[in-house]
Amino acid sequence: QNIHLNIPSQKPHKSKQTILQMSRRLGKEFQQLSETAPQDWLEVQLVNDNLYNWRVVMLGPEGSPYENGKFLIDLNIPSEYPFKHPQVKYLVKVYHPNVNDDGTICEELFEPWSPQKRILDVCTTLRTQLADPDVETPLNLPIAEIYKNDFNKFEKTAKDWTKKFAK
């Protein structure tokens, strides 16, 4: 599979060599995840051959209300990657204390960020958070309250939404 480098406009202070190195790394990560993925719960594609915009299909974690769900996720990777983490947005409705109604998540999930982290680490973190929500600092307070006060209702609703929206 050929990878086309459709690179968004870069800030002028970066050298072409730095940009090329970052693109090479990102291309290598994409190739590793798309061709020889070490996990069976993740698929990646480029959006419009843009190396900085990935479409991810992540299977919900086993033993969670999200099990068997296929969660479509948009990753917008900044030109500063790997020095900045990707912007993440679920493209399907997710009933979860850490996911907003518009599919955005709390970016602090990836902090502290370091250039050693990879896109696989981002996806693994997202999958872990599905199974183990942070209800102490929720993004969606009403769902967090239900999680804390009526877990059975939370679990049933999360399973229902997963069946309905994460097909």
- If one compares 128 and 18, the residue with the highest pLDDT of the two is 128
Cβ-based neighbours of 69, under 8 Å, separated by 6 or more: 59, 60, 162, 163, 166, 167
Is 106 designated active site? yes
Q: Is the pLDDT score of 159 beyond 50? A: yes
Cα angle 147-126-160, degrees, rounded to a multiple of 5: 45
Q: Is the pLDDT score of 10 beyond 60? A: no
Residue among 46, 106, 126, 143 flagged as catalytic: 106
Task: Please report the pLDDT score of residue 39 as a whole number.
Answer: 76
Provide the b/e sequence for 17-50 (b: ≥16 CB within 10 Å): eeeeebbeebeebbeebbeeeeeebbebebeeee
Q: Residue 1: what residue type?
A: Q
Please give the C-alpha separations between residue 9 and each of 13, 15, 50, 156, in angstroms, as whole numbers.
Answer: 12, 13, 12, 45
| Band of residue 6 on the pLDDT scale cut at 50, 70, 90 | low
| Band of residue 20 on the pLDDT scale cut at 50, 70, 90 | confident
Q: Is the pLDDT score of 16 beyond 80? A: no
Average pLDDT over residues 123-133: 95
Q: Which of 24, 7, 31 is nearest to 79 (CA)?
A: 7
Average pLDDT, the chain: 89
pLDDT tens, 68-95? 999 999 999 998 899 999 999 999 999 9
pLDDT tens, 130-151? 999 999 989 999 999 999 999 9
